[in-house]
């Protein structure tokens, strides 16, 4: 069963940043429910390539493609591979939404949510090792590392120890099992965020290699974009946002410069221009309508000729 419809975050801001025009070619590298794609196609007589690693999203996109008469082409795969998927295509704009789709979180059977009981899965492509495989099979030290590095969980070691102890009696197979254990071990925070939030984030990132995918996707976007083409990236947590910020600032020549006391070295020509030096965040109206937007940050850069 599906939940509430997916509401694309910072939709107007993303479309404004990409500035769709007739004849241009765009990539929606995290197609999901197609929110950004629909808005881009409605804004101009342009073409969009929709990429998603989730087979369910690809199937939904094909129905949308029929409605737009060939202006949308769906490509199954990861956005980190888009340079290969779109080899030889000159791209004018790329949108990336690094958050998990509501279609995935709201469906208990996908195993992403600590609020719904389902199989402990979390695989976007429904292939490869699942969250249950990691939780039941990894050594305690590796589990603690995942929870700390990817979930920024302060109680990672204590939690990993409890997981290893409990799995000896009964393997973890459901999201409820794991969420209940986390709530038992991790103290509740004053901000009201569920104690299971960080552990589930860490496992999901590890299962799907999300940070590696972001790095590959940013590099692929740089190769695909024509001069003047724009990259708009929406991130939802500090690990992703740091990668995007460092990539864009480094590409624009704004990375930290060496000490003035050191010999002068030649710096490469900038590859990007920052369209907005600070991240764009949701306004009060969007926050009231879509609480998911509260942690969203949009960064935009324009490809230069270098």
For residues 54 and 185, the model is more confident at: 185
Q: What does the pLDDT average to over 182-190?
A: 91
Residues of the chain with CATH 1.10.150.170: 108-208
Is the pLDDT assigned to residue 266 strictly greater than 60?
Answer: no
Give me the pLDDT at residue 187, please.
Answer: 92
Instruction: Enter the DSSP assignment of 101.
Output: P
Choice among 17-31, 34-48, 279-293 with the minimum mean pLDDT: 279-293
Give me the chain's average pLDDT, please. 89
For residue 136, what pLDDT is reported? 97
Higher pLDDT, 278 or 113: 278
Residue percentage of the chain with pLDDT more than 90: 71
Which of residues 124 and 5 earns the better pLDDT score? Answer: 124
Measured in residues, the chain has a length of 306
CATH number 3.40.50.150 given to 11-103+210-303: yes
Q: What is the mean pLDDT of residues 159-183?
A: 95
C-alpha distance from residue 272 to each of 30, 179, 218, 227, 304 (Å): 22, 42, 12, 9, 5
Q: Is the pLDDT of residue 4 over 50?
A: no
Query: For residue 254, what pLDDT is reported?
Result: 67
**pLDDT per residue as tens digits for the range 226-236:** 999 999 999 99
Q: Please check the confidence at residue 1 and state whether its pLDDT lies above 50.
A: no
pTM over 0.85: yes
pLDDT of residue 65: 93
Flag whether pLDDT at 271 surpasses 60. Answer: yes
Secondary structure of 151-176 in the HEC alphabet?
CCCCCHHHHHHHHHHHHHHCCCCEHH
**Residue 109: pLDDT over 70:** no
20-30 mean pLDDT: 97
Q: Which residue has the higher pLDDT, 114 or 184?
A: 184
> Residue 57: is its pLDDT beyond 80?
yes
What is the DSSP code (8-state) at residue 196? T
Q: Identify the pLDDT of residue 105.
A: 58
Task: Summarize pLDDT for 187-239 with one digit per residue, the tens.
Answer: 988 877 889 889 999 999 999 999 999 999 999 999 999 999 999 999 999 99
- Is domain 108-208 given the CATH code 1.10.150.170 in the classification? yes
pLDDT of residue 260: 57
Angle between helices 210-224 and 197-208 (to 10 degrees): 50
Nearest to 92 by CA among 20, 31, 34, 153: 20
**pLDDT > 60? residue 104:** no
pLDDT of residue 56: 86
Query: Is residue 57 classed exposed, middle or buried when 0-12, 13-18 and 19+ CB atoms within 10 A define those classes?
Result: buried
The token pair at 43 is 């804004």
CATH 3.40.50.150 domain range(s) in the chain: 11-103+210-303
The DSSP result for 16-51, as a single string, is HHH---TT-EEEETT-TT-HHHHHHHHHSS-EEEEE
């Amino acid at each position: 069963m599906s939940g509430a419809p997916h509401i694309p975050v910072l939709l107007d801001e993303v479309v404004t940043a990409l500035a769709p025009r007739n004849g241009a070619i765009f990539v929606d590298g995290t197609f999901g429910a197609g929110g950004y794609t629909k808005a881009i196609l409605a804004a101009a007589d342009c073409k969009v390539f929709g990429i998603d690693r989730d087979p369910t999203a690809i199937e939904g996109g094909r129905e949308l493609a029929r409605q737009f008469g060939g202006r949308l082409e769906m490509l199954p795969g990861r956005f980190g591979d888009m340079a290969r998927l779109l080899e030889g295509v000159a791209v004018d704009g790329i949108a990336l939404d690094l958050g998990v789709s509501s279609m995935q979180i709201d469906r208990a059977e996908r195993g992403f949510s600590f609020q719904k009981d389902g199989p402990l899965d979390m695989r976007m492509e429904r292939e490869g090792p699942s969250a249950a495989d990691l939780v039941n099979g990894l050594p305690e030290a590796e589990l603690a590392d995942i929870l700390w590095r990817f979930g920024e969980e302060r109680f990672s070691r204590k939690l990993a120890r409890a997981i290893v102890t409990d799995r000896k009696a009964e393997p973890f197979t459901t999201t409820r099992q794991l969420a209940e254990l986390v709530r038992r071990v991790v103290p509740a925070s004053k901000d009201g965020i569920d104690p299971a939030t960080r552990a589930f984030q860490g496992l999901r990132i590890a299962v799907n290699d999300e940070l590696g995918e972001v790095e590959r996707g940013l590099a692929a976007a740089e190769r695909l974009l024509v001069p003047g083409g724009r990259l708009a990236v929406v991130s939802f947590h500090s690990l992703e946002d740091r990668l995007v910020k460092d990539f864009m600032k480094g590409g624009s020549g704004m990375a930290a410069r060496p000490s003035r006391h050191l010999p002068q070295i030649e710096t490469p020509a900038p590859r990007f221009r920052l369209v907005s030096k600070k991240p764009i965040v949701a306004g009060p109206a969007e926050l009231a309508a879509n609480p998911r937007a509260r942690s969203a940050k949009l960064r935009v850069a324009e490809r230069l000729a270098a």
